[in-house]
Amino acid sequence: MSVTIVVLYHSSHGSVAAMAHEIAESIESQGGTALLRTFEVRDPHDIVISKDDLIKCDGLAFGTPTRFGMMASQAKAFWETTSELWLKGQLIDKPACVFSSSSSMHGGNEATLLNLSLPLLHHGMMLMGVPYEVPELLATQTGGTPYGATHVAGAQNSAQLSKDEIKICQSVGQRLVKITRKLQ
């Protein structure tokens, strides 16, 4: 069964983009179609999200860097334009997950993941976390939470994901495809 998942992200220093690409590759490895979308063109390969992308997709992975425990302003500005989708219930029952990156272990990743979840919940989407059956969630010394995949970039803003962060991102993509197929 074919599923199309939008992997929507904003990335300032490359770490959220690296996470988005890991999630997208994982979706593709499961036979799904991953549509990488951003909020603005920062790279020649970037494709800006459209509301039509959200309407037509079967599921969503959504991530931004943490901004004082909140989503990036580019993402917030986009979600504020989606009232007509909400009024028509066009995203209801679509599975979704969230992911984020911060500079430190206590930089607000979990608060950001909760903040990223709010517009999805308002739209009636079905939010998925990372279950503890993912062994890297218990082993990680860097990013990864039950609320979603995370990355800790450190003081140097390293976009290099740890092995555990990569595995958690991959598990998120795989689970999103699995649940989306079950719902079809």
Half-sphere exposure (CA, 13 Å, Cβ side) for 11?
Answer: 28
| Local confidence pLDDT in tens for the 184 residues of the chain | 799 999 999 999 999 999 999 999 999 999 999 999 999 999 999 999 999 999 999 999 999 999 999 999 999 999 999 999 999 999 999 999 999 999 998 899 999 999 999 999 999 999 999 999 999 999 999 999 999 999 999 888 889 999 999 999 999 999 999 999 999 9
Domain count, the chain: 1
pLDDT score, position 1? 79
pLDDT score, position 105? 87
The per-residue DSSP string of 97-157 comes to EEEEEESSTTSSHHHHHHHHHHHHHHTT-EE----TTSHHHHH-SSS-BTTBEEEE-TTTT
Range of the domain at 122: 3-183
Point out which residues pair with 70 in neighbouring strands: 67
Q: How far is it, in rounded angstroms, from Cα 175 to Cα 68?
A: 28
| Residue 115 · residue 71 · CB < 8 Å | yes
Torsion of CA 155, 159, 165, 170, to 10 degrees: 160
pLDDT score, position 157? 87
What CATH number corresponds to the domain at position 27? Answer: 3.40.50.360
| Residue 97 · residue 172 · CB < 8 Å | yes
